Amino acid sequence: MKKLERRIPDNLYKKIHQSVPVACVDVVVSDTRGNFLLLRRKNQPEKGKWWFPGGRVLRGEKLEETALRKLNQETGLNGRVIRLLGVYDYFSRTGYFKGVPAHTIAIVYLVKASANRKIILDWQSDNSGWFRKINLGWPSYVKHFLKKAGFK
């Protein structure tokens, strides 16, 4: 069943964030050259930090579908899911809405990107990069799942 993504009005989305954790999928993206992709976030939480493409799961959407949809929306890339890397309970005092802490349940997948490496960023990121090695200054969440994906 093909789903249409509808924007949740901000006042309702804020109530959701205040009430329950949000189910999200994050994507560790690898290419055929042994590199991985990160995006630099423009919004909270983790504004200004290198992060994975990803976002909330839509009602009726399978998790692997979410991974591929978010990869395409945020980067313009297509790919195929390789495997589930794990689940992470993410908490931050700073959330998407001012004064509302973040709590997401992130399901993290490893995805192999198609041969096209041209990145087309959406509104959520201001930069992207293909990397070969993990930077010790990156958030522990990012380092953890890059290591689980086999990067060093």
CATH (one of 3.90.79.10, 3.30.930.10, 3.40.50.300, 1.20.58.340) for 11-148: 3.90.79.10
Is the previous residue joined to 45 through a cis bond, with omega within 30 degrees of 0?
yes
Average pLDDT over residues 46-69: 95
Spell out the domain ranges in the chain. 11-148
> What ranges make up the beta strands (E) of 21-150?
22-30, 36-41, 50-51, 54-56, 79-92, 102-113, 125-131
For 37, phi then psi, to 5°, come to -105, 135
Q: For 18-48, how does the pLDDT look when each residue is reduced to its tens digit (9 = 90+)?
A: 888 889 999 999 999 999 999 999 988 989 9
Average pLDDT over residues 67-93: 95
Distance, in Å, from the CA atom of 11 to the CA atom of 46, rounded to the nearest integer, reads: 22
Cα torsion through 26, 81, 152, 133, rounded to 10: -70
Helix (H, G, I), strand (E, B) or coil at 115: coil
**What does the pLDDT read at residue 92?**
82
| Type of residue found at 7 | R
- pTM for this entry: 0.88
